Structures are given as C-alpha cells and as structure tokens.
Amino acid sequence: MRTTRQFRVFLLAAGSLVLASAAWSWLRWRAQAPERSAWAAVQSDLSAQSARIDSIEGVIDRMQGELDAQKRAIRSASERLSHVGRQAVGGRLPQADYRRYLQEIDRHNDAVDAHNVMLSELRRVQEEYSALVDVHNALVDSANELQRLAVQEGIQLAEPKSGYRE
C-alpha cells in the first residue's frame, strides 16, 4: 500500500513537472513570436530582392547584347562609308554615289545615337543594380545579426534562404 502511494505521488510530481515544462515552453514560444516574425519578414524581403536582382541581371545581359549588335552596325556603317569614300576621284563623288554617301552618314549617325542612348540606359540600370545589391547585402548582414542573437537567446529560426551578392 505504501509503495502504491509513493508511486502515485511520484506520478503526480512527474506529471506536474511535465505540465510545467510544457507551459514554460509554450510561454517561451509565444514570447519569441516577434523575433520569428522579424525573421520571416527579413527572409521575405531577401527573397523579393533576390528576384529583383535576378531580373535586373537579365535586363543587363539583354542590353549588353543589344549594345554589341549596335557596335556591329556602327562598324558596318563605317566600312560602307570608307568604301564609298574610296570611290571619290579628285575628292569628288558622282551625284548618285554622293547621295548614297549621305545616306550612309545618316545611318552611321543614327546607329551612334542609338548606341549612346542604350549605353546611357545601361549605365542607369547598372547603378540601380549596384544600389540594390548594396541594400541586399546590408539586409543579409542584418539577417546574420538577427540569427546570431537568436542563437544566443535560444530562439529557433527557419534556415536562411539568401546570401551575399556581388
């Protein structure tokens, strides 16, 4: 009889400890909600920035391809101008060749103007890209600091999804 009573007291004490531990864990989990929410927000921002950075990288690649095509067009127009210019006799071109020469000058100038506009736009996009990467890296630093503090405080956070960009 005495053993049964001791066993009941033991079970009651053990049950109380389990309930107290569960209650403490639940309270601690609830108290850490702001940190987990901040972490989720940082991860969401990093994900959105990564997508934007990837998008801008695609735009830059496309623009560089267009610039290469424009450079080829400028070289081609320059070659045509040189060819027509070599046909001049005594510094003069026949009327038909002169009109063609003027058209080639216009094509060349149009190609150079388009190239300069595209180059200016590329530089603007590259500056936007650089600024976004800087902001992204600063946010990664913040996320790393938040994660370091969480480890110190024993807060369980989800795994990070993004890293530094260059």
List pLDDT tens digits, range 55-102. 999 999 999 999 999 999 899 988 888 888 888 788 788 888 888 888
Residue 19 lies in a domain: no
Q: Determine the average pLDDT of the residues in 133-156.
A: 84
DSSP-assigned beta bridge partners for residue 92: 89
CA 124 from chain center: how many Å? 16
Residue 14 lies in a domain: no
CA distance 135 to 163: 12
Residue 62 lies in a domain: yes
CATH classification at residue 89: 1.10.287
Residue 80 lies in a domain: yes
Residue 56 lies in a domain: yes
pTM of the model as a whole: 0.67
CA dist 139 → 39, 41, 44, 69, 145 (Å) = 11, 11, 11, 37, 10
Residue 50 lies in a domain: yes
Residue 79 lies in a domain: yes
Question: Total domain count for the chain?
Answer: 1
Which structural domain, as residue segments, surrounds residue 135?
Answer: 32-153
Residue 147 lies in a domain: yes
Contact 70, 163 (CB under 8 A): no
**For the stretch 23-61, what's the b/e string if a residue is b when 16 or more beta carbons lie within 10 angstroms of its beta carbon?**
eeeeeeeeebeebeeebeebbebbeebbeebeebeeeee
